[in-house]
Amino acid sequence: MSRQYTVGPQSSGDIILVQPQNEEINQAAAELNGGLDQNNMPLDSITRSKLTPPVVTTVASPQQTSIEYVSQAYYFSEESANLTTIPYDQWTLGWNKFEVLASAADIDGFFLDFQSVEGMLKGESCIDVTYRESFRARTNAASAEAYRIPDRHRGELAVFVNDVLVARTGPLWFSCGRNSYVLPFGCAIGSGPCHVDVRWSVEFQNEFRAFGAGYTLNVIEEIASLKIANRLLWVRNVYR
């Protein structure tokens, strides 16, 4: 429902009178029935300058689409064709930036760069993550597997705006295979350069077990790589 303006000024004594109160109620009921007049939309509140078509800008590399209106703007970045694989030897402790660890040709859908206008940011990060269980196995001289140590690990996804954490999923059981996650976020923003990016972290909780004699000859270690398929990052900048 649009903003409503009062029909006329009311004093403290008008609350006991029927007519002024009914006029205000009738105004709301008329709007619900499709009636809009100067009480709902003051004269000259909508001018031709506010009805201009949006400005659409598309950047090829990294891929980003901007749609700027008079009162708000939308920014999109997505990738659906390439599968991004990030091996474990590129991980670091804490939050990892997808845009840094992914290859230069594979960074679409992980971040957005634009000039923000003071107001609010609302958006979502949609990401398709594949991660498998890692393990360490030890064998004897005859190459017969003696013991297998599974590596239990939890992961988490987060969105940062100008390096400030604005949304996080909480602990996720990454090792269960392939899953899609949607992470909504919102925050206040000032005017100036704005960088929105998606990050992740992995916490390993390895299950170490003792081995018997003769079973520590060979060590086979398999740590799964993080794989990202489809992803989409969009932001709406609502001007103040």
Tens-place pLDDT, residues 182-206: 999 999 999 999 999 999 988 776 6
* Residue span of the structural domain in which 21 resides: 1-45
Mean pLDDT computed over 82-100: 85
- Tell me what the pLDDT averaged over the chain comes to: 79
52 with 13, same domain?
no
The answer to whether 77 and 109 are in contact (CB under 8 A) is yes
For the cut 60, the answer to whether the pLDDT of residue 3 exceeds it is no
163 with 129, same domain?
yes
58 with 173, same domain?
yes
Strand partners of residue 103 = none
11 with 101, same domain?
no
28 with 69, same domain?
no
Phi, psi of 99, deg, nearest 5: -65, -25
The CA distance from 121 to 131, in Å, is 30
The answer to whether 55 and 212 are in contact (CB under 8 A) is no
58 with 22, same domain?
no
130 with 28, same domain?
no
Q: For the segment 153-191, what is each residue's pLDDT rounded down to a tens digit?
A: 778 999 999 999 999 998 887 777 788 999 999 999 999
> What one-character DSSP code corresponds to residue 16?
G
The CA distance from 54 to 46, in Å, is 16
> What share of the chain has pLDDT > 90, as a percent?
32
4 with 59, same domain?
no
Structural domain count, the chain: 2
Mean pLDDT computed over 101-125: 87
Supply the pLDDT for residue 1: 46
Residue given tokens 């890692």 in the structure block: 134
Q: How far is CA 139 from the centre of its chain?
A: 44
Beta strands in 69-189 (DSSP E): 72-79, 84-86, 96-97, 111-116, 119-131, 134-139, 145-161, 164-168, 177-189
Is the pTM value of this prediction over 0.85? no
